[in-house]
Structure 1
Amino acid sequence: MTNHVSLATELASFIGKYERVNNSHDIEQVVPFIAEDATYWFSDGSHKGIREIRSAIEKTFTEILDEVYEVRDLEWPVLTADVAVCRYRFSWTGIVDGAARSGQGRGTNVIVRRNGEWKMLHEHLSP
């Protein structure tokens, strides 16, 4: 059980760092958290590989100004030494086309340990 708790704490820290780098709006800080062969599913479509994902995230950074993204209610239905699945709720606020906007939804991430580092292998965000 201690190992399980330790892994959950380690991965919650990883998610927290991922949340912070996304809120920096600096793609160069975000990319190191994502596996080269990752797939992200957003409401605007599917993005495969780091190039497509990078482009999709950069687009979000330009469309939602001053965005603040928040992750909460983390659950770990799968938690092993090398693979984890995380379910959570998220919310965001920002400026879109000059007007204050906000949204919320659910997320699921598959996180894998590669060369001793955790990486996002899959992210699925939905309303």
Structure 2
Amino acid sequence: MGEYERANNSHDISCVVPFIAEDAVYGFSDGSHRGIEEIRSAIGKTFATILDEVYEVRELEWPVLTSDVAVCRCRFAWTGVVNGELRSGRGRGTNVIVRRDGELKMLHEHLSS
């Protein structure tokens, strides 16, 4: 999750996409996004909307943790500039991570405020 957090804070979608499974489903405040192309678009939109964003993942809990599947519950917070004004938000997140071809990939992410 630390590497994923750093990738998101790069604000470079090409750094984030390698962490995401092709068949992933993400749920954000603007709706659900299914598959890597929809997710890429949604994250890219966020990067374009929230400038200088700092995204933090906190209070991680791992109710499921095996060599092939992990489930993470966490709190998140962000700060950044939206329409010229400093803004911030926080909420809860759930992530499902799976091992695919020897690599860990995000299969599901749900963030809610």
TM-score (norm 2): 0.99
In structure 1, distance between residues paired with 2:15 and 2:79: 20
**Secondary structure in 1 aligned to 2:70?**
strand
What residue is the counterpart of 2:99 in the other structure?
113
What residue is the counterpart of 1:22 in the other structure?
8
Partner residue of 2:60 out of 74, 87, 91? 74
The reply on whether 1:126 has 2:102 as its aligned counterpart is no
**Secondary structure in 2 aligned to 1:32?**
helix
What residue is the counterpart of 2:84 in the other structure?
98
Higher share in strand? 2
1:65 maps to amino acid = L
| 1:19-41 CA distance string (max 9 Å, x none) | 00100000001000000000000
**How big is the shift at 1:62?**
0.3
What residue is the counterpart of 1:4 in the other structure?
none
Partner residue of 1:61 out of 40, 47, 54? 47
Higher share in helix? 1
**How big is the shift at 1:63?**
0.3
What residue is the counterpart of 2:22 in the other structure?
36
Q: CA RMSD in A?
A: 0.4
The share of aligned pairs that are identical, in percent, is: 79
**How big is the shift at 1:108?**
0.1
Larger Rg: 1
Unaligned runs of 5+ in 2: none
**How big is the shift at 1:81?**
1.1
**Aligned pair count?**
113
TM-score (norm 1): 0.88
**How big is the shift at 1:103?**
0.3
In structure 2, distance between residues paired with 1:119 and 1:77: 18
